[in-house]
Structure 1
């Protein structure tokens, strides 16, 4: 392993005919620019006065965005809603009551949303696990916990 780089063993030479032609072209273009009255300003490290400041906008970060949520006074008032019981009875007037299968499926859905297992749901509802799983398949109910 070499400690220092030896440029004499580089695979590509630093001086090649194409590089020399490009150097000559750039020198000619620079001389033409200066002859026509152009000036070259050298700025180097003085190009910028200082480093850019890093600013975190708290309104756009998820950590602090909730602190800038609109106040309750700024929110528009929503019209009063009917109680749920009144809406249900109004919607169900003249309709036939749901079947026992739909009521049982609703109970299974409630147990599944409470993260209960099919076996636990069967115990709560007084059914077998096989019946609960069949109801879940029929009504596309997924249990988050299986056992």
Structure 2
């Protein structure tokens, strides 16, 4: 059995394909570590089973039926997932507050925040010699949080 990483407790993991063999194993382990889990899957029955297995083991999980290739499906899923990051009164959870405390931009990202980087990487005249790197578009979170 793997050791418990206390720093993971209370965090939220959104796992696309979380009802499949590999990702459901990841979801179960993250739950065992104390994380809240959102199982995102096209197959609602499988997602519900995976979330149920986590709940049966004492964890917190929700099943979120969604097709990641369909924007409207993801928009619907977003509301369910946000519930994991917000209190019932709409205020931020402890985890969300920790994210904000370590993000210089002091806000969650928006889809539009990715577009400049998308265009830069898509244009060979700007990024044709760039390869094998991760470009964080995270409001400075990685730089300031010690990740």
Normalised by the shorter chain, which TM-score bucket? under 0.3
Structure index of larger Rg: 1
TM-score computed with the length of structure 2 as normaliser = 0.18
Q: TM-score, normalised by structure 1?
A: 0.18
